[in-house]
Amino acid sequence: MAGFGAANLLYSQGIRPKLYELRARPGGLTSSFNFGNGFVFDEGIHISFSKHDDVKRLFAESTQHKYETGQVYCNNYWKGHWIKHPAQVNLHGLPTDLVIACIGDFIEASKIENPIIKNYQDWLLAAFGRTFAETFPMVYTRKYHTTDAANMSTDWLGPRLYRPKLEEMLRGALEHEPLDVFYVNEFRYPTEGGFESFIKGFYAKAEVHCDHEVTRIDMRDKALYFKNGTRASFENLISSIPLPKLVPLIVDAPTDVREAASRLACTQFVVVNIGLSRPLDMKPQWSYFYDEDIPFARVSYRGNLSSRNVPPGCDALQAEIYFSEKYRPLQGPPDDWIEPTIDALIKCGIVANRDEVIHKSTIWSPFGNVIFDLDRAAAVNTVHGFLRDIGINYCGRFGEWGYIWTDHAFMSGENAAKAALRAHDRETATLETLS
């Protein structure tokens, strides 16, 4: 997404850049997979809820204006209970003792003026009180981020966690789904071809070279070397390669920069794809799961995004199970998680029995989401400073090493392209002065 954001901006300025892609086809995390049996799956849960008019227009044009729209509805599963998201204002229907404890602790936490916040755990306790924090977001943090809240910073939160007023929490405990406070509202999703269709319209704006894994970057000679034995020169370089992979490729990268890059952590995930022989009677686009004995953190419902994702009369879902090299390495092949996932889906009542499962597969992604652990900030500053000094324009989720969505990734690529153009203009002006 970031690479084609850069390509689109450069193309608008009369430049058709060369784009080197590691995989056999472009797409990255926005890739979609058609298994030839009517089921189309994405590489994880993806929808577009951009509020940026230019991005919305470009994505729409990429699909030739063939996309679905709808109102986002997502919910939470906890020990047999389904409640609307976010849980903190939708406690209605949970065990009475739990609801009383959540509200009581919330009131006590609200009395503390200027609480000391050193990490995400401190923030959760101050924002929600101990019972809610320990029952819901702290558990989810371990499942989704693969580390404890006490090991995470708070500079990624933004609008992602809603901090309610007491009145909102009480109303949500007494009434069924009284409030809409989720930061995601309207969503868009391509009618055909999965989420990847939002970027297919940009492919022609770059000279795309697939199966080109970079093995060496020489900034002095301005040359790229690839695993397939080829070499390419460049004038200006824009990179969305994940920072821990990028820095070791750079000739003469300093030891302190290499060490900083090695401290950066991100999640990896197994997506378990399940196709069913019947439609699902499920309202949400996706659900969150808090039970620690359920392996997946989230499930998305493919037919609720577009009916073209599934064969007629069928449905499908995707379950995301998270790992990380730093905190929770994957043990064994991804397919080992298929049967435990089906067991958990049956336990939750989403799947009735194994007889209705007509498709099962997995997608492994080595880069999922950036983990905002306490090592991140200093390490990112060191790496980014080095890249700026040597003239590599970084972009995307793993170039910026931030918690950014697809529209922001696209715009990150645009910004990197603008920086490359400014550098080109400065070089041209210097050459003209010297001549």
Taking the model in full, what pTM does it have?
Answer: 0.94
Tell me what pLDDT residue 428 has: 65
- Residue 387 region by backbone torsions, left for phi larger than 0, else alpha for psi between -120 and 50, else beta: alpha
Residues composing the chain? 435
How confident is the model over 89-97, as a mean pLDDT? 98
How confident is the model over 361-367, as a mean pLDDT? 97
How confident is the model over 208-233, as a mean pLDDT? 98
Which tens digits make up the pLDDT trace of 21-75?
999 999 999 999 999 899 999 999 999 999 999 999 999 999 999 999 999 999 9
- Please state the φ and ψ torsions of residue 213, each to the nearest 5 degrees: -90, 120
How confident is the model over 399-419, as a mean pLDDT? 96
* Domains in the chain, CATH or no CATH each: 2-31+53-68+190-265+377-434 (3.50.50.60), 88-174 (1.10.3110)
Q: Is 142 exposed, middle or buried (0-12, 13-18, 19+ CB in 10 A)?
A: middle
Which tens digits make up the pLDDT trace of 135-166?
999 999 999 999 999 999 999 988 778 899 99
pLDDT above 50 for 431: no
Transcribe 27-43 into DSSP letters.
-GGG-EEE-SSS-EEES
pLDDT above 90 for 432: no
- CB-based contacts of 385: which residues, under 8 Å, 6+ apart? none
The overall average pLDDT reported for the chain is 95
Which tens digits make up the pLDDT trace of 410-419?
999 999 999 9
Alpha helices per DSSP H over 136-240: 137-144, 166-174, 197-200
Give CA separation, 62 vs 47, 187, 230, 351, 372, in Å: 15, 16, 31, 35, 33
Query: Which residue type does 345 have?
Result: L
How confident is the model over 213-220, as a mean pLDDT? 98
Tell me what pLDDT residue 370 has: 98
HSE-up of 323 (CA within 13 Å, CB side)? 15
Element (H, E) at 275: strand 268-276
User: Nearest to residue 300, comparing CAs of 213, 393, 195, 390?
Assistant: 195
Structure tokens at 271: 């997506």
Could you give the percent of the chain with pLDDT greater than 90?
Answer: 93
Tell me what pLDDT residue 435 has: 42
Tell me what pLDDT residue 424 has: 85
Structure tokens at 125: 């306790």
Which tens digits make up the pLDDT trace of 272-299?
999 999 999 999 999 999 999 999 999 9
Tell me what pLDDT residue 190 has: 98
Tell me what pLDDT residue 57 has: 97
